[in-house]
């Protein structure tokens, strides 16, 4: 039986977030497998109300769990490691990653009540991990979190470069720079690069990317020019930006306070892992209360409008005794992730109503992306000269645009969204199978499937309201008294002006008085009849058909 090299995205291909990729080599259907990243994406109230986290459905991996040799984690962002406490117990494979990412994952596992002894800390290239038919090296790349890495995956069918998230930054302030000389070596070793699986996030941004170091002077000048209290927010994981902001605050003669558990934890872990050095001294929130406003700078979590983060709490009033006032300045040193705009704008307006001056990234003056822009992607294509390019980490439009660039350069390519299995053995990728993929929702403390109906029912109740009907049937199968009704999420009065609850109860009771015996005796038929009446009345009165729950209680003869 011939052996083949396969690629299967389970998350992150056709969306930004929830990254989970599978590579395999061996006889068809018996390939040995490695998994790259196990991340999450975040819910919204429109499509997934009440859900805490969303992650890839690993049913296919679970069905082939005895074939998984290892899990590799490229870096410590939530969309690459956030699902570890929830999905690793289903897969039970050793986990390989670098020191800083390992520390973040260990905290997650321990907070979930699990040991973290499955994590193996790996040094970067030329060190390598040999698992099954794969030889994997971690290559440092610049990104918006320390110790981000691309993976060099050598297989009997050729060399794969999995970029992870990256940008071309020779001076990232914190973390390792992108080293073109090392990548020249990687491109020219052996038979060269067979497959480049490449980040597509910024494929529509036509300007070359800018270094994190270009923000140092603008942020320093901006903060020095402010009069009241200065508050800045950015991604908690962007340790380089936190350092730049803190240094700018101290240079302006301000005491600096970090607000938000995630931010304090990230700085602590980065210092312990020795990737962050010389971070300015900070003060505690309880001490910040006593500092004059024009001598204080807060760096806070919540750049994406998260309701429980420090930014949102400040926009609603006080947080840990601190509050915003007229003449203060709030800086968003971040870009809004698509889908989060509504929450961020709501916070901006709340600050504006307080008289606070809100400043955004000003077209890149106070923020740079952690992902490679289009010219940088093309530079990497030209540097590595892959035989095949597979776009990943992006919505469908990103993947398709990236594939067009590859075709224009004569590089074989394929748009492979979640669940699309590619055979990469030959000179061009071939779609060989479509795997049924879905999503897991973390709902409180329980993982549920996207197709389980829980969230769908929740959405229907949110849109249409809920009616609870209770009836009692005596020993002789005769309704005992009237039906009674409880309403949730519905107006008290309909267009007739009457009490909605009483209108529905009257209609149900009238039906029960004349209902045929065969319906009253049959729970299913009675349920259906009462449900239909309630929905019809609601439609006439308020123009909606609510969700209906019918409870039939039957008295039993002694």
In 3D, which of 316, 278, 319, 277 has the Cα closest to residue 298?
319
Beta bridge partners of 440: 55, 449
Q: Which CATH architecture has domain 465-554?
A: Roll (3.10)
Across the range 286-297, mean pLDDT stands at 96
CA pseudo-torsion sign 88, 137, 180, 5: negative
- The pLDDT assigned to 1 comes to 61
**Residues 70-122 pLDDT 10s:** 999 999 999 999 999 999 999 999 999 999 999 999 999 999 999 999 999 99
Give the separation between CA 453 and CA 226, rounded to whole angstroms. Answer: 52
Give the separation between CA 34 and CA 37, rounded to whole angstroms. Answer: 10
Give the separation between CA 132 and CA 149, rounded to whole angstroms. Answer: 21
Q: Does the pTM exceed 0.75?
A: yes
pLDDT above 70 (res 558)? no
- The pLDDT assigned to 182 comes to 96
- The pLDDT assigned to 362 comes to 79
Give the separation between CA 316 and CA 312, rounded to whole angstroms. Answer: 6
**Residues 455-464 pLDDT 10s:** 888 888 889 9
Beta bridge partners of 25: 5, 32
What DSSP letter does each residue of 34-49 carry, written as one string? EEE---EE---TTTST
Domain limits of the chain? Answer: 3-207+369-449, 212-359, 465-554
- In a 10 Å sphere around its CB, with 0-12 CB exposed, 13-18 middle and 19+ buried, how is residue 156 labelled? exposed
CA 122 to each of CA 126, 136, 166, 267, 365: distance values in angstroms, whole numbers, following the listed order: 11, 10, 19, 21, 36
CATH topology of domain 212-359: Rossmann fold (3.40.50)
Across the range 31-35, mean pLDDT stands at 98
Give the separation between CA 384 and CA 389, rounded to whole angstroms. Answer: 10
How many CA atoms within 13 Å lie on the side-chain side of 546? Answer: 28
Across the range 451-470, mean pLDDT stands at 88
- The pLDDT assigned to 557 comes to 66
Chain-wide mean pLDDT for the chain?
Answer: 94
**Residues 6-15 pLDDT 10s:** 999 999 999 9
SS (H, E, C) 438-501: CEEEEECCEEEECCCCHHHHHHHHHHHCEEEEEEEECCCCCECCCCEEEEECCCCECCCCCEHH
Beta bridge partners of 138: 151
Please report where in the chains the tokens 């449900």 appear, as a residue: 531
Please report where in the chains the tokens 């004059």 appear, as a residue: 292
**Residues 196-234 pLDDT 10s:** 999 999 999 999 999 999 999 999 999 999 999 999 999
For 318, which DSSP code? -
User: What pairing do the DSSP bridges indicate for beta strands 329-332 and 149-155?
Assistant: unpaired
**Residues 352-375 pLDDT 10s:** 999 999 999 878 899 999 999 999
**Residues 128-158 pLDDT 10s:** 999 999 999 999 999 999 999 999 999 999 9
CATH superfamily membership of 3-207+369-449 = Ribonuclease Z/Hydroxyacylglutathione hydrolase-like (3.60.15.10)
243-252: burial string, b at 16+ Cβ within 10 Å, e else: bbbbbbbbeb
What DSSP letter does each residue of 143-175 carry, written as one string? -SSTT-EEEEEEETTEEEEE--S-B--S--SSS
Instruction: Judge whether 249 and 331 are in contact, CB under 8 Å.
Output: no
Give the separation between CA 254 and CA 376, rounded to whole angstroms. Answer: 37
Across the range 291-319, mean pLDDT stands at 95
Give the separation between CA 441 and CA 374, rounded to whole angstroms. Answer: 33
The CA-CA-CA angle for residues 341, 347, 351, to 5°, reads 140
pLDDT above 90 (res 478)? no
Across the range 387-401, mean pLDDT stands at 97
Across the range 399-420, mean pLDDT stands at 98
Strand order across the beta sheet in which 95-97 lies? 119-121, 95-97, 68-72, 32-36, 20-27, 3-11, 420-423, 430-434
- The pLDDT assigned to 442 comes to 87
Q: Which residue has the higher pLDDT, 336 or 221?
A: 221
Give the separation between CA 51 and CA 417, rounded to whole angstroms. Answer: 24
- The pLDDT assigned to 453 comes to 78
| Fold equal for 212-359 and 465-554 | no
Give the separation between CA 503 and CA 4, rounded to whole angstroms. Answer: 67
Q: How far does Cα 385 stand from its chain's mean position?
A: 32
How many CA atoms within 13 Å lie on the side-chain side of 186? Answer: 32
- In a 10 Å sphere around its CB, with 0-12 CB exposed, 13-18 middle and 19+ buried, how is residue 377 labelled? buried
**Residues 175-195 pLDDT 10s:** 999 999 999 999 999 899 999
């Amino acid at each position: 039986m011939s052996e083949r090299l396969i690629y299967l995205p389970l998350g992150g291909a056709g969306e930004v977030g929830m990254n989970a990729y599978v590579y395999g080599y061996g006889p068809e259907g018996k390939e040995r497998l490695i998994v790259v990243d196990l991340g999450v994406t975040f819910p919204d109230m429109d499509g997934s109300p009440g859900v805490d986290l969303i992650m890839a459905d690993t049913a296919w991996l679970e069905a082939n769990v005895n074939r998984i040799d290892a899990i590799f984690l490229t870096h410590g962002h939530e969309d690459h490691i956030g699902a570890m406490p929830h999905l690793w117990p289903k897969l039970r494979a050793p986990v390989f990653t670098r020191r800083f990412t390992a520390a973040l994952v260990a905290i997650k596992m321990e907070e979930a009540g699990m040991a973290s002894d499955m994590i193996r800390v790996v040094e970067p290239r030329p060190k390598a991990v040999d698992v099954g038919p794969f030889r994997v090296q971690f290559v440092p790349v610049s990104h918006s979190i320390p110790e981000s890495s691309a993976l060099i995956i050598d297989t009997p069918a050729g060399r794969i470069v999995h970029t992870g998230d990256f940008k071309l930054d020779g001076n990232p302030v914190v973390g390792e720079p992108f080293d073109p000389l090392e990548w020249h070596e990687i491109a020219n070793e052996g038979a060269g690069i067979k497959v480049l699986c490449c980040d597509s996030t910024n494929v529509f941004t036509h300007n070359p990317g800018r270094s994190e170091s270009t923000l140092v002077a603008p942020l320093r000048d901006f903060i020095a020019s402010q009069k009241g209290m200065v508050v800045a927010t950015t991604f908690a994981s962007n340790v380089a930006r936190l350092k730049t902001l803190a240094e700018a605050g101290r240079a302006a003669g301000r005491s600096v306070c970090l607000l938000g558990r995630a931010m304090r934890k990230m700085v602590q872990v980065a210092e312990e892992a020795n990737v962050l050095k010389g971070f300015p001294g900070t003060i505690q929130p309880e001490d910040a209360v006593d500092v004059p406003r024009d001598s204080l700078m807060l760096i806070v979590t919540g750049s994406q409008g998260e309701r429980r983060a420090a930014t949102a709490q400040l926009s609603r009033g006080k947080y840990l005794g601190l509050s915003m006032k007229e003449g203060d300045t709030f800086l968003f040193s971040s870009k809004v992730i698509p889908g989060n705009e509504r929450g961020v704008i709501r916070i901006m307006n709340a600050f504006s109503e307080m008289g606070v001056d809100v400043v955004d990234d000003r077209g890149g003056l106070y923020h740079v992306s952690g992902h490679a822009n289009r010219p940088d992607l093309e530079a990497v294509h030209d540097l590595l000269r892959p035989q095949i390019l597979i776009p990943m980490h992006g919505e469908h439009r990103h993947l398709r645009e990236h594939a067009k660039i590859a075709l224009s350069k004569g590089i074989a390519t394929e748009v492979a969204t979640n669940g699309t299995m590619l055979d990469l053995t030959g000179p061009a990728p071939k779609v060989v199978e479509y795997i049924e993929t879905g999503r897991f929702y973390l709902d409180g403390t329980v993982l549920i499937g996207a197709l389980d109906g829980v969230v769908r029912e929740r959405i229907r109740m949110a849109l249409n309201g809920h009616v609870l009907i209770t009836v009692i049937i005596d020993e002789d199968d005769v309704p005992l008294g009237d039906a009674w009704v409880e309403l949730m999420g519905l107006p008290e009065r309909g267009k007739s002006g009457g009490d909605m609850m009483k209108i529905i109860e009257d209609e149900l009771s009238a039906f029960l008085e004349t209902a045929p015996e065969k319906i009253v005796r049959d729970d299913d038929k009675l349920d259906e009849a009462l449900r239909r009446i309630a929905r019809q009345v609601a439609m006439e009165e308020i123009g909606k058909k609510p969700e209906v729950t019918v409870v039939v209680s039957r008295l039993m003869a002694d």
